[in-house]
Amino acid sequence: MTDRLTAAATQAALDRWLLTEAAARDRSDHTVTAYRGDVTAFLHFIGAHWGEAVAPAALVRLRQTDMRAFAASERGRGLGARSLARRMSGVRSFLRWISDREGLDLSAALSTRSAKYARSLPRPLTQDQARDTLERVADHGTPWMGARDVAVLTLLWGSGLRISEALALNGTDWPFAEGLVIRGKGGRERQVPVLPVARDAVARYLDLSPWGHRTDAPLFRGVRGGRLSAGTVEAAMRQARAALGLPASATPHALRHSFATHLLSAGGDLRTIQELLGHASLSTTQVYTGVDDARLMAVYRNAHPRG
């Protein structure tokens, strides 16, 4: 989106900031790409708004009205409240960085209030729904593919992995010990437990797989032998939930939510669950307390004689 509305010096500053974020703050490639899109969209809008290319020194002209105009424009394009909040956070991070680096007073823009949004609660599967889903996924026309998809989904439910983390496993990671070291978002490493049922599921998949087990290949492989894609697992989950009459929220990621909520319901410690999920902040994990509270209230309303 870089064009005549973004001065070369501003683009160069953006590139330097992104390098800093990646190196000093260990941001993931996905986060850096998102930040680039956020700030580029902002600079493009401001350039069009002012009718001139936005040079670094010109940023001191930014006012709350400019920030609000950008936010209104993004909402008008259909950007959701949560996505807008993330976009504005990226823009403010860049403005704070360039303010410090260039000695610019950007306090007027930085004082703009963050966009508010109601964080939606995760929608986990119940234990019965999760079991039924795995049984349905196993019922595949090609047995080794069904076993493979079950193994992946069992790791999501049993170890709280993100689907990207499960699919990133390589042949060198097998056989699993009782714990598995996972490199997650932001390059953060954590150790997660691997239940016997998950080890058995992976072992069954490897026994049936035409590719077998090789240390120089991905652990989970597609029909042509390459690394299994998330889309393939998501498709298997879509077919299972349609057959079982589950809502659209029953995705592979919902099994990770199920891991957290089932642990919490059984008395799991929130800090421990944070570590197992690989959340950088406890506030991210605390959303699961809302899920558990909602479940408890539903039980109360259904069970109490005055409910």
Which residues are catalytic, by number? Answer: 162, 185, 253, 256, 279, 288
Question: d(Cα 194, Cα 179) in Å, to the nearest integer?
Answer: 5
Phi, psi of 181 (to 5 degrees): -85, 120
Cα 238 to Cα 255: distance, rounded to the nearest angstrom: 13
Contact 74, 68 (CB under 8 A): no
Amino acid at 4: R
For residue 210, is the peptide bond before it cis, meaning its omega torsion is within 30 degrees of 0? no
- Where do the DSSP E strands lie in the chain? 179-183, 189-193
- In the numeric block, the tokens 């920030």 are attached to 67
Cα separation, 279 vs 151, whole angstroms: 23
